[in-house]
Chain A
Amino acid sequence: MPAPFKIVDCALTILSLGRSAQNLRELRDHLASVPAQSLSHHFYDSLLRPAFDDPEYRNDFALWARRQLHDALLAERLGVIDPMDYPDLEQLRQQLVDVVEDRLSEANEVPQAARGKEFHFLKSQFVILETGASATTIGELAEIIPKLSTGSIFHHVIETRRRQPGRPDDFSGWLEAWGAPSAPIRERLQAVDYHLWSLSELREQIALAFDPLGKGVEP
């Protein structure tokens, strides 16, 4: 029998980097030089930040392009970037810079945000906590998932995949050890597009993958 699944939680605080961009050229310059930790914040960690859900774009750069530069074309190109497609943050950075530079070369004028609407570069600080809770069977894990904090969902899904691109989320990884009986759940988890959901929505999606009919899961 596989080792118990240990539930880990995480909490985040946000820090300002003290760097901001007023226009697209400044954004390009900062993108090329900010710590990778900041790129990570604006793609992943913003899921844990107090903010109104906007499923249209899942990263801060696309949102800023749409709302403050009023550049729908750029917003769409940035919005489609899924950070999980890149093996590391440096390659993600290169893609971002390329998209912005392409847009700068097309535009007749440098798109500019109004005063007070600058893009502010941020970074995160995490505290990762062992909760002491664990599941020894698939049924137990299915029961726990709807009660997990958004921090736990972030840790076991987003953070795990961010640290090791290409690796499945922690739930899928643990289920593999259960072999064939867990295959249908793993298939349903694989079908969840993590790029499109808020953390509370993701929790619902994962819970549904474990128990699609809401009838409970056999231990």
Chain B
Amino acid sequence: MREIRLADYAEAAGPEVIEQIRALARPLAGKSVVHVNSTRVGGGVAEILARLVPLMQDLGIRTSWEVMEGTPEFFAATKSFHNGLQGNAVVIQRGLLEAYEETNRRNSIALQGTLQDADFVFIHDPQPAALIRHVTGRRGKWLWRCHIDVSRPHRPTWKYVREIVRHYDASVFSLSTFAQPLPHPQYLIAPSIDPLSEKNVALEQEEIDMTAGSFGIDPRRPLVLQVSRFDRFKDHVGVIRAYRMVRPHAPIQLALAGGTADDDPEGAEVLDEVRAEAADDPDIHILELPPDAHRVINALQRRADLVVQKSLREGFGLTVTEAMWKRKPVIGGETGGILLQVVNDHTGFLVSTPEGAALRIRYLLSRPGMVARMGEKARRFVRENFLLTRHLREYLTMMVGLHYGANESVEIH
């Protein structure tokens, strides 16, 4: 694939946006930035970094992306952190916590030189958070970038994580409701989608039809789609229940398309639960897709008549943004980052129950004109607020602010 350059985004975001980003990056030219997370593929963080890192490089910022290596015990521990931070009461055995600490210590040895010298270190989520304890002689600013909905965490889990992340120079959360009492500045930066990625580029109708056809989706009947990892917080079972409530009224099909990620050990178990709930209904398509099936997901989102994201907790919900970019209204769970994107009666509907989702599916299916109007609004809303260029601009603004140690404003001449 051709290397992505910032200039390529002028058409989607506007040329003035590109100029602004270049001006912001000038004081950071030659600085070094390292991003660290725990998976190269699968999930929103990896998708963002795959695009953000080349763009930062294109701006003359020496940017690299490191992925830490972990054992199954390590990932079991961090999945429990994830569940606990999103509010589930979890008990994490001492042995798993030791695996977490040991994995961070071991990775810190390999990364010591890179992290010690970097001007900015972005540590994504709890998995690599404890690296800060082991990297000595840190020269730059260390930022903990939390992508998780920590609005109401399980307190013992948060206390454990807080003891680690309080040592950072700053935190970055996606929403104001996620910010927690910490002894350092807490920036609020929403995630984004890349309009030029395989997941979001425009597709020919033929490719959309062929992709949907290859999964046995009937081209003559409406399709309701949810795209998300097989994770209990995504409430696939609730979506199936909503589908069953709609079926007596409309001949819909349901597709539940989910990827897996290297750092999520619970995916297979949840997938089994979803299959059991679907039983042998031929109109429920459970699609287990590889983590790089971006074009397939793109085609399914474009084929869908309605997109659902009925999460019970959601850090942001990039699949919501993706669907809105494709002019689809979204029926989303009233939680986390979905609240920032789905605006009732404008870009979709917020729901709290399978019943609510069923009602809104029926409502929208019977109003194609409204679906089209909402879809246009959703597209414009994403263009103005949730594209990668805005995300990049906010990271650069934050870095400039941290670099100059500013409180309220920095002037660059």
Contacts and interface: CB of A to CB of B under 8 A. Distances in A.
A125 B173 contact: no
B177 A50 contact: no
Given A11-B393, A129-B20, A149-B19, A116 B151 contact: yes
A11 B16 contact: no
B384 A149 contact: no
A96 to B, nearest CB: 19
Contacts of A129: 20, 23-24, 412
Given A12-B397, A14-B187, A130-B412, A125 B15 contact: no
B369 interface: no
Interface stretch (B67-75, B258-266, B399-407): B399-407
A148 B393 contact: no
Given A18-B179, A50-B385, A11 B413 contact: no
B397 A148 contact: no
A126 B410 contact: yes
A41 to B, nearest CB: 10
Contacts of B396: 11
B177 A52 contact: no
Contact of A148 (B16, B173, B189): B16
Contacts of A126: 397, 408-410
Interface in B365-413: 381, 384-386, 390, 393-394, 396-398, 400-401, 406-413
Q: How large is the interface on A (under 10, 10 to 19, 20 to 34, 35 or more residues)?
A: 20 to 34
A127 B412 CA distance: 7
A122 B189 CA distance: 12
Given A147-B15, A149-B19, A127 B397 contact: yes
A34 B400 CA distance: 25
Given A52-B346, A147-B16, A127 B24 contact: yes
A128 B347 contact: no
B188 interface: yes
Interface residues of B, number: 46
B210 interface: no
Interface string B158-189: 00000000000000010011010110011111
Nearest to A120: B176
Given A149-B17, A200-B384, A125 B23 contact: no
Given A16-B179, A52-B343, A130 B413 contact: yes
B29 interface: no
Nearest to A200: B384
B411 A128 contact: yes
A192 interface: no
A18 B181 contact: yes
- Which interface residue of A127, A147, A149 has the most chain B CB atoms within 10 A? A127
B190 interface: yes
A16 to B, nearest CB: 4
Contacts of A116: 151-152, 177
Given A52-B343, A116-B151, A127-B412, A15 B185 contact: yes
A149 B19 CA distance: 9
B375 to A, nearest CB: 15
B237 to A, nearest CB: 23
A190 interface: no
A13 B343 contact: no
A20 to B, nearest CB: 8
30 contacts: A12-B394, A13-B189, A13-B398, A13-B401, A14-B187, A14-B188, A14-B189, A16-B186, A16-B187, A16-B188, A50-B384, A50-B385, A50-B386, A50-B390, A51-B340, A52-B343, A116-B177, A122-B176, A122-B188, A124-B408, A125-B406, A125-B408, A127-B411, A128-B410, A129-B23, A129-B412, A130-B412, A131-B19, A131-B20, A149-B20
Interface of A: 9, 11-16, 18, 37, 50-52, 116, 118, 120, 122, 124-131, 147-149, 151-152, 200
Given A11-B393, A13-B188, A50-B384, 8 more contacts: A18-B179, A120-B176, A125-B398, A125-B401, A126-B410, A129-B20, A149-B16, A149-B19
Interface of B: 14-17, 19-20, 23-24, 151-152, 173, 176-177, 179, 181-182, 185-190, 340, 343, 346-347, 381, 384-386, 390, 393-394, 396-398, 400-401, 406-413
